[in-house]
A and B are shown apart, each in its own frame.
Chain A
Amino acid sequence: MNRNKPLGLKAAPYLFLAPAMALFVGIMALPIVYALYLSFRGVKVSGLGLGSGGRTEVWAGFSNYARSLSDPDFVDSVIRVFTYGLLVVPTMLGMALLFALLLDSGRSRARNFSRLAIFLPYAVPAVISSLLWGFLYLPAVSPFYYLFDKMGLDAPSLLANDLVIFAIANIAVWGGTGFNMIVIYTSLRAIPSELYEAARIDGATERQVAWRIKIPIVIPSLIMTFVFSLIATLQVFAEPTTLRPLSNSISTTWSPLMKVYRDAFVRDDIYSAAATSIVIAAATFLLSFGFLRLVGNRAFNQES
């Protein structure tokens, strides 16, 4: 059968695929391969390194990787990002689940308005929300500190060393809760109402319905939002970068991606930046797929 098909028909799927493939290869695959190549290269300067011929590109083997993995700044930034993740992900998903259940419970008033109000911060770009929060964190221009001052309270600066991680986590939670709530809420709406009716006939309270029916059914969405949040956490960049000029406590290597940015564009060392980003990409890949593997069978079996 296949052999008798006209050429046009045979080629059709490839034609349809072509634009997507071309874009994927051009703007995803090739840059990744190029980054991999760069991560094994380095620059060698001869003499003063001034004028033509002062620098040559050479093979560097694994030295970029060795340097990036043994850099105390990098290790610190990884630890920081894990602490940040421990703060952000449970808080954000917990609030998203709570809001979704409240909206779904049918008792809340102004449901459409609340849904929009909770979702809206997600539509604010991270740079802008960081600037907004930055103003609120600076004692001299913040209405909160003004109120504390009027009440005679001495509030600690959120941009000081030990609190700055909460300041950044707060921005992420504020911006991310809405999106995750919508994902969970959507899957709550897809639950057939017979299940609730049956539960009520059995005498289940609203809380029991939530705990025994709703949450188990939305576990796959919770897992999906968890993986998304995990990836977003590892990639945190915009919030600390925007807040950095306002505070002494955020270094140029606060998060791993900030270190990549600094190496590439401030230190003009794209080679070690490439190596570090390959390490981050591999870690992200391992963590997300490792987690999916771990929970995958349990979570998705319930769907089928």
Chain B
Amino acid sequence: MRGMKKAAAATLAVTLGITLASCGSDSNDNGGSTSSGEKVELTYWTWAPNMEKVVDVWNEENPDIQVTVNKQDGGDAAVTKFLTAIKAGSGAPDLMQAEYQVIPTLVSSDALADISEYVDDTTKNEFSEGVWNAVTLGSDAVYSVPQDSGPMMFFYRADVFEELDLEVPTTWDEYADAARAINEADSKQYLGTFSANDAGWFTGLATQAGASWWSMDLEAQAWGVHVDEEPTQRVAEFWGGLVEEGVINNKPMYTPEWNAALNDGSEVGWLSAVWAPGVLSGNAGDTAGKWEVAPMPQWDASAPATGSWGGSSTAVSTQSEHPEAAAKFATWLNTDADAVATMVTEAGIYPAAQNAAASALTEAPEFFSNQPNFYDVAAEAAATAAPFTFGPNVNTAYSAYNDEFGKATESKTAADFVQAVKNIQTIVVDDMVNAGFTVQ
């Protein structure tokens, strides 16, 4: 029985592989060997909803460069498929939606073209420093054009805060006090949870504290790994302390239990990013109109900062025969006022381009209709987004985060939280040394 099942699965995989490969090679044949002036056809892999409507606008205005959208399942699945096509030597698209944290991995596999010669300073100046750093990896190259960003903010139940007569926390100390007060009023109620499943979330918190887990030394051709350093240790110790005290929950996010907790009011706050209204309206529909958003609590109130959770960019693949046309489209898509406005309404993203975002986002999301200045708070947060350098093995770090913080949140001690950070550092360095990277 099992053998048959396995064989069937393998057949399916092989068939799918063949179909995918043939799809890919089709597009390459069409796009290949056209000289300049002729019609160029580009393929674009993306998983943002309704992207084809934005692309239609471009295709109408640019009969010479026609873009075809190829719908993907999601970030991780698309990256696996993309890397397979790159290793196979054909089948990759011209344009690819890439989340910021996978850019170094993709560049490391020689999958992304350097488009710095097609991108000028006007484009660069559209984006905040933190976001731009993520697509250049701090070098002179440009590997992608930023599309959307996820500046982190503090979402809280305004009605509960009012009932308990609590001020909205502006520093982490105040956040800890609010967490204690809320849990004291009702032992089943928490201001938030420390999720061992969401490495991107923790990375955002560490970014805010000033961490940047990787660094590149171009001269020595070496990487640095800085997980186990003061900023991340500080964040881990802070949260470990709250979990140890029992005033912050230790259950992972994005579980049916967590959804229920947000909806029935046993979780009254969420440190999340600008896209949170979409999630909250889906899993906490009963609480519409009760939430408000504020900037993140700060470590140093005089120098406000925030981290990012999520966000993606549009990259040009090394297999593209028309990198210039592809870069032109990527720039238009993410900076042109019309294109950005269409993306906001059709795909529901928070654009990384600051000017275009300001003109496209005027009305608060429906779930936050009680807070008309929602996007003013967001823009303010986005402007303070701190930079963070991702390395070539982000996935290793993220899965190490799941395992190590999984153990720490189960044991509920601050010491184990700090130990988890140390372990992640060891795992990341070992993985890089094993692959042959020079690590300083």
Q: How large is the interface on B (under 10, 10 to 19, 20 to 34, 35 or more residues)?
A: 35 or more
* Min distance, Cβ B214 to any Cβ of chain A, angstroms: 11
Check A44 for interface membership: any CB of B closer than 8 A. Answer: yes
Check B419 for interface membership: any CB of A closer than 8 A. Answer: no
Check B392 for interface membership: any CB of A closer than 8 A. Answer: yes
Check A67 for interface membership: any CB of B closer than 8 A. Answer: yes
* Min distance, Cβ A175 to any Cβ of chain B, angstroms: 13
Cβ of B256 and Cβ of A138 under 8 Å apart?
Answer: yes
A140-B260, A247-B252 known; A54 vs B110 contact (CB < 8 Å): yes
Most buried by A among B14, B223, B436, B438: B436
A247-B252, A248-B196, A249-B406 known; A47 vs B221 contact (CB < 8 Å): yes
Please indicate the chain B residues that have their CB under 8 angstroms from the CB of A31 in the complex.
10
Cβ of A45 and Cβ of B110 under 8 Å apart?
Answer: no
* Min distance, Cβ B435 to any Cβ of chain A, angstroms: 5
Q: Which of B401-436 contact A (CB under 8 A)?
A: 402-403, 405-407, 409-410, 431, 434-436
Cβ of A51 and Cβ of B406 under 8 Å apart?
Answer: no
Most buried by A among B2, B104, B197, B403: B403
| Binding site secondary structure of chain A | loop
- Closest B-chain residue to A63, C-beta based? B434
* Min distance, Cβ B388 to any Cβ of chain A, angstroms: 18
A28-B7, A48-B222, A251-B402 known; A267 vs B110 contact (CB < 8 Å): no
A28-B7, A228-B2, A268-B105 known; A251 vs B403 contact (CB < 8 Å): yes
Interface string of A36-48 (1 = CB under 8 A from B): 0000000111111
A140-B261, A160-B410 known; A26 vs B396 contact (CB < 8 Å): no
Most buried by B among A45, A135, A141, A231: A45
Q: Which of B109, B137, B196, B393 contacts A267 (CB 8 A)?
A: B393
Please indicate the chain B residues that have their CB under 8 angstroms from the CB of A128 in the complex.
none
Check A205 for interface membership: any CB of B closer than 8 A. Answer: no
Q: Which of B218, B255, B435 contacts A43 (CB 8 A)?
A: B435
Cβ of A49 and Cβ of B108 under 8 Å apart?
Answer: yes
* Min distance, Cβ A271 to any Cβ of chain B, angstroms: 10
Interface string of A264-279 (1 = CB under 8 A from B): 0111110000000000
CA distance A248 to B197 in the complex (A): 8
CA distance A230 to B399 in the complex (A): 29
Please indicate the chain B residues that have their CB under 8 angstroms from the CB of A265 in the complex.
80
CA distance A286 to B186 in the complex (A): 57
Q: Which of B7, B223, B395 contacts A48 (CB 8 A)?
A: B223
Cβ of B250 and Cβ of A248 under 8 Å apart?
Answer: yes
* Min distance, Cβ B406 to any Cβ of chain A, angstroms: 4
Q: Which of A168-224 contact B (CB under 8 A)?
A: 179
* Min distance, Cβ A281 to any Cβ of chain B, angstroms: 12
Please indicate the chain B residues that have their CB under 8 angstroms from the CB of A44 in the complex.
435-436
Cβ of B108 and Cβ of A50 under 8 Å apart?
Answer: yes
Q: Which of A3-37 contact B (CB under 8 A)?
A: 23, 26-28, 31
Cβ of A268 and Cβ of B436 under 8 Å apart?
Answer: no
Cβ of A55 and Cβ of B403 under 8 Å apart?
Answer: no
Cβ of B406 and Cβ of A248 under 8 Å apart?
Answer: yes
Check A161 for interface membership: any CB of B closer than 8 A. Answer: yes
Cβ of B109 and Cβ of A55 under 8 Å apart?
Answer: yes
Check A52 for interface membership: any CB of B closer than 8 A. Answer: yes
CA distance A64 to B363 in the complex (A): 56
- Closest A-chain residue to B402, C-beta based? A252
Check A139 for interface membership: any CB of B closer than 8 A. Answer: yes
Cβ of A50 and Cβ of B107 under 8 Å apart?
Answer: yes
Check B345 for interface membership: any CB of A closer than 8 A. Answer: no
- Closest A-chain residue to B218, C-beta based? A48
CA distance A44 to B318 in the complex (A): 21
Check A143 for interface membership: any CB of B closer than 8 A. Answer: no
Q: Count contacts between A and B, CB distance < 8 Å.
A: 121
A43-B435, A45-B436, A48-B221 known; A266 vs B395 contact (CB < 8 Å): yes
Cβ of B437 and Cβ of A49 under 8 Å apart?
Answer: yes
Q: How large is the interface on A (under 10, 10 to 19, 20 to 34, 35 or more residues)?
A: 35 or more
* Min distance, Cβ A156 to any Cβ of chain B, angstroms: 13
* Min distance, Cβ A276 to any Cβ of chain B, angstroms: 14
Interface string of B370-402 (1 = CB under 8 A from A): 000000000000000000000011011011001
CA distance A49 to B266 in the complex (A): 47
Q: Which of B1, B110, B260, B395 contacts A268 (CB 8 A)?
A: B395
Cβ of A267 and Cβ of B399 under 8 Å apart?
Answer: yes
Q: Which of B83, B109, B257, B409 contacts A139 (CB 8 A)?
A: B257
Cβ of B7 and Cβ of A267 under 8 Å apart?
Answer: no
Q: Which of B107, B266, B434, B437 contacts A67 (CB 8 A)?
A: B434
CA distance A245 to B399 in the complex (A): 12
CA distance A213 to B242 in the complex (A): 63
Please indicate the chain A residues that have their CB under 8 angstroms from the CB of B407 in the complex.
248, 251
A54-B108, A138-B257, A139-B257 known; A228 vs B1 contact (CB < 8 Å): yes
Interface string of B239-264 (1 = CB under 8 A from A): 00000000000111011110011000
- Closest B-chain residue to A56, C-beta based? B436
CA distance A95 to B406 in the complex (A): 34
Q: Which of B114, B196, B257, B403 contacts A140 (CB 8 A)?
A: B257
Cβ of A45 and Cβ of B437 under 8 Å apart?
Answer: yes
Please indicate the chain A residues that have their CB under 8 angstroms from the CB of B261 in the complex.
140
CA distance A26 to B11 in the complex (A): 9
Please indicate the chain A residues that have their CB under 8 angstroms from the CB of B393 in the complex.
267-268
Cβ of B14 and Cβ of A179 under 8 Å apart?
Answer: no
Check B361 for interface membership: any CB of A closer than 8 A. Answer: no
- Closest B-chain residue to A160, C-beta based? B410
Please indicate the chain B residues that have their CB under 8 angstroms from the CB of A27 in the complex.
7, 10-11, 14
Please indicate the chain A residues that have their CB under 8 angstroms from the CB of B221 in the complex.
47-48
A45-B436, A161-B410, A268-B83 known; A52 vs B110 contact (CB < 8 Å): yes
Most buried by B among A31, A160, A231, A248: A248
Q: A135-B256, A232-B2, A252-B403 are in contact. List 14 more A-B contacts (CB 8 A).
A: A27-B14, A45-B435, A47-B221, A48-B223, A50-B104, A51-B110, A55-B109, A67-B434, A138-B255, A141-B260, A179-B1, A262-B399, A267-B399, A268-B395
User: Could you list some 20 contacts between A and B, CB below 8 A?
Assistant: A26-B14, A28-B10, A31-B10, A43-B436, A45-B435, A45-B437, A47-B438, A49-B435, A49-B436, A50-B104, A53-B110, A141-B257, A245-B255, A246-B256, A248-B196, A249-B406, A252-B399, A252-B403, A268-B393, A269-B431
For the complex of A and B, the 8 pairs showing the least CB-CB separation, nearest first, are A47-B221, A45-B436, A140-B257, A138-B257, A44-B436, A248-B406, A251-B403, A27-B10
